Every structure is written in C-alpha cells, then in structure tokens.
Amino acid sequence: MTLSITTSEEKPEPASRPSLMSGSIAMMAVNIAAVAVGIILWAVVTSQGVVGLPTPLAVAKQAVIQAQNGLLWSDAISSLGRVFTGFALGIAVAIPVGFLMGWYRIARGIIEPYVQFFRTIPPLAIIPLAIVTMGIDETPKIFVIFLASFLSSVVATYQGVVNVDRTLINAARVLGANDFTIFRRVIVPASLPYIMVGVRIGLGSSWATVVAAELIAAQSGLGFRMQQAQLYYDLPTIFVSLIAIGVLGLIMDRIVQTTDSVLTAWQEKL
C-alpha cells in the first residue's frame, strides 16, 4: 500500500497565486482612485480661481487638438526616441563599468575619480560644451541624456557588486569555482536588484534631462513644444506636454519594473 502524504509546506503554494493576483488588482484600483482624486482636486482648485492654472477640461481639449493635427504624436515620438537612445546607451555602458569598478580594485581606482567628478556636475551644465563640440543636431541631445543615465546607473551597479555577501563568494571558492564562475553565478545575480534600481533611476534622469536637451536647436519634441508654448503663455499646451512626458515615463518605468520582477523572482519582496 502506498500512502500519499501532503505536507503543510506544499499547501500555500497554489493559494499564493490568487493572493498575488488579487493584491495586484487591489493596488491597480488604488492607483486609479488616486489619479481620479487628483484630477477632481485639480478641477475644484482651478474652478475656484485659486491659482492661474488651466482646468482639466481645457487641457483635454488642447490634447485632442494636438492629437488631431499630429503634433502630439510627432513630439512624443521625437522625445521618446531621444530618451530611449540616450538611456539605452547609458545603461549599456554603466553596467559593465560598474562591474569593473566593483570587481577590480585597480579599475575602481582609475574610474571612480572621473565618475565622482562628473556626478557633481549637472548634465544640464554640459549643454554649452556639447553644442560647441558636437554641433546642434541630434548628437548633443542624446549625449546629454546618455550622461544623465550613465551617471545615475553606474554607481548603483558598483554598489551592488561591493555589497555582495563575502560568505557566498568564499563558499563558491571552497566548492572549486573559478573567478568567471563566481562572477557569473554569484556576483551578477546578487547585484541584479541594485542594477535594476539604477536602471529605474537612470530612466527618470533621462526624462528629466530631455526637456533641457531639446533646448539645443530642436524642431520637435515635448520639451520643445513646452518652450514654444511658454513664449505665448499657452498653459494648456504646457500641461499637455507635461502629462505626455509623465505618461510615457510611467509606461517605461512599469516595463522596467516588470523586467525587474522577472529577473529577481528569487528575491523576497513585500
């Protein structure tokens, strides 16, 4: 006779998925409710004339006009292309440089002074130098965004490497693992949470920099549209561009969060 025994540890496993799903739905409902409350408060404040801001209805009408004539889409695509290019290049360089700084002391000694030096200089202050050395086409715009993304991400990657538990590294050496195996199987997985935080910060820095980057002789883009609207005190257009930047940034951040949850599924989270 064969007995089938189910331990108490196996029971919570099927029930955990519905709880996670219900928790995600509840959080989404809270997010939607928070946005709705914010819009209502915005409408109440502007309808009372407390501040000289456009009403949500005026901003919505302007968004429809810009969407119909294609300005909103062309500006969004231009800004999105600049942000994505600069952000992708920044992350692609920051991650290996951060690993080098964290894994090799000599590399840390060579690279860290430059990283810390440029971190104290706002990327926006590089704009005049970028214009003089790179011209006024797309190159200086992307470079400024790249710099903001790189400087925000490289430190997080470096910190992730140096914070790896030495016990894990020593245990791997005892088991006969070489440096490459330790780096691939221990350092990289343990550093991923830090790296993904750096990626999110770099993404935010990229969007924060794009408006100033589009000061460089741009002919399209959400930042460019805001600057043009400022000349005519066109507040609804400014709000449309602001909201578009926020929505695009939020979507990209959610994509990064989803990637983070997949890559760090082993990590216990609240």
Residues 162-189: tens digit of each pLDDT: 888 888 888 888 888 887 888 888 888 8
Q: Within this chain, do residues 142 and 258 fall inside the same structural domain, yes or no?
A: yes
Q: Look at residue 2 and tell me if it is in a domain.
A: no
Question: Which two structure tokens, joined as six digits, stand for 53?
Answer: 């801001």
For the chain, what is the domain count? 2
Range with lowest mean pLDDT among 123-132, 188-197, 224-233: 123-132
Angle between the 235-263 and 71-103 helix axes, to the nearest 10 degrees? 40
Q: Within this chain, do residues 43 and 91 fall inside the same structural domain, yes or no?
A: no
Per the CB < 8 A criterion, the answer to whether 42 and 57 are in contact is no
Q: Within this chain, do residues 21 and 40 fall inside the same structural domain, yes or no?
A: yes
Q: What's the pLDDT at 269?
A: 64
Tokens 């190159």, located at residue: 139
| pLDDT band, very low/low/confident/very high, at 51 (cuts 50, 70, 90) | low
Of 130, 138, 39, 40, the closest CA to residue 86 belongs to 138
Q: Within this chain, do residues 134 and 148 fall inside the same structural domain, yes or no?
A: yes
Q: Within this chain, do residues 242 and 122 fall inside the same structural domain, yes or no?
A: yes
The pLDDT of 40-63, averaged and rounded, is 84
Q: Within this chain, do residues 236 and 130 fall inside the same structural domain, yes or no?
A: yes
Q: Domain span at residue 36?
A: 16-51
Q: Within this chain, do residues 111 and 198 fall inside the same structural domain, yes or no?
A: yes
pLDDT single digits (tens) 73-87: 999 999 999 999 999
Q: Within this chain, do residues 26 and 99 fall inside the same structural domain, yes or no?
A: no
Q: Within this chain, do residues 37 and 144 fall inside the same structural domain, yes or no?
A: no
The pLDDT of 187-206, averaged and rounded, is 90
pLDDT single digits (tens) 12-35: 444 444 555 666 788 778 888 888
Question: Which two structure tokens, joined as six digits, stand for 257?
Answer: 């969060």
Q: Within this chain, do residues 76 and 44 fall inside the same structural domain, yes or no?
A: no
The rounded mean pLDDT for the chain is 84
Q: Look at residue 71 and tell me if it is in a domain.
A: yes
CATH number of the domain residue 198 falls in:
1.10.3720.10
Q: What is the spatial distance between Cα 102 and Cα 56, in angstroms, rounded to a whole number? A: 48
Q: Look at residue 8 and tell me if it is in a domain.
A: no
Q: What's the pLDDT at 7?
A: 41
Of 266, 103, 110, 96, the closest CA to residue 195 belongs to 96
Q: What is the spatial distance between Cα 99 and Cα 41, in angstroms, rounded to a whole number? A: 46
| pLDDT band, very low/low/confident/very high, at 69 (cuts 50, 70, 90) | very high
Q: Within this chain, do residues 72 and 166 fall inside the same structural domain, yes or no?
A: yes
Q: Look at residue 163 and tell me if it is in a domain.
A: yes
